[in-house]
Amino acid sequence: MARMHGLFDATVGDLIRRRCSWRTFTNQALTSEHRELMQKFIDGLEPAPFANRIRVKVFDEPAAKGGIKGTYGVIRGASTFLVGAAPQGPQSLEDFGYVFEEVLLRATDLGLGTCWMGGTFSRTVFGERIGLGPSEVVPAISPVGYRADRRGSVDALFRFSAGSAKRKPWQDLFFQQDFKTPLTSAEAGAFTEPLEMVRLAPSAANKQPWRLITDGEAWHFLLERTSGFSALWSVDLQRIDMGIAMCHFELCAREAGLKGHWESRVPGLILPKRYEYSISWVREG
């Protein structure tokens, strides 16, 4: 089934373009108004595309001497965090990426700073904060709050080393009929904006693993694995990245009045090396 979504104040495309990772904050905890608005949005989230139960909690974590506990000195000045939990099971990480990105876009909508953190935090510390169940995992967290006027040195180094402002060109990401025929923005027609928002999506170490191919009836989402990358982390961050891409695509498609639904429809193609099929968005009408 197609999912419905709560409305943001700004357009989805504007929020995606505005959102960026921020690790340096002012030490001010969220105001009661912002906390209530964030909690209301989280409480109103509809089921994830694959129907896994994703939990997201807003909580305060005052800075201690030497930095924020459990963030290894990467985050400075944040007093409030978003922490999420997902069940261990099929496609749960894709669902987590989808839902958590929705929450971060709402924070951006409210003028708050955030930062996807999938590796540089203690899952033990933040698991305690959310009351992690025996069959759950904390795939990622994010500070949420008021950005400092300037990035700290660690923040600037992370952004530079990851090449966060750079994105792969269309011809590397989007295809039609086969993987030898790139799809241009001119050929994408009404889907130009949803695809561009996929291109601009954040990803672990900026690897941008999503690849989309269309047969005219559906958009097939595929993951191009980065060799050896998954072995570095305790959760599969590239599956989370696929959920973020799904979120951007569907939110923008819905906003543009394009109808469709998620469905397992493996394309009849020989997939390139390191490619894995994820899901398809099938057009309606």
**pLDDT one-digit tens code per residue, 82-141:** 999 999 999 999 999 999 999 999 999 999 999 999 987 889 989 999 999 999 999 999
Cα 27 to Cα 22, 68, 171, distances in angstroms: 13, 10, 42
Please report which confidence band the pLDDT of residue 2 belongs to, taking 50, 70 and 90 as the band edges: very low
The CATH class that applies to domain 170-283 reads alpha beta
pLDDT at position 285: 77
Q: Within the chain, which residue ranges are assigned CATH 3.40.109.30? A: 170-283
Q: Are strands 210-214 and 174-176 parallel, antiparallel or unpaired?
A: parallel
pLDDT at position 1: 39
Q: Are strands 275-283 and 218-224 parallel, antiparallel or unpaired?
A: antiparallel
pLDDT at position 143: 94
Architecture of domain 12-162: 3-Layer(aba) Sandwich (3.40)
Q: Token digits for 111? A: 């003028």
Sequence-separated (6 or more) residues with CB below 8 Å from residue 182: 170, 171, 172, 174, 175, 176
| CA-based nearest residue to 31, from 106, 130, 99, 110 | 110
Region 215-227: mean pLDDT is 95
| CA-based nearest residue to 101, from 34, 21, 178, 165 | 21
Q: Within the chain, which residue ranges are assigned CATH 3.40.109.10? A: 12-162
- Name the most confidently modeled range: 211-220, 229-238, 265-274: 211-220
Q: What CA–CA distance (Å, rounded) separates 272 from 276?
A: 9
pLDDT at position 155: 57
Q: Which of 117-126, 180-189, 261-270 has the lowest mean pLDDT?
A: 117-126
What digits encode the pLDDT tens for the residues 49-90? 999 999 999 988 766 544 556 676 788 888 899 999 999 999
pLDDT(38) > 90? yes
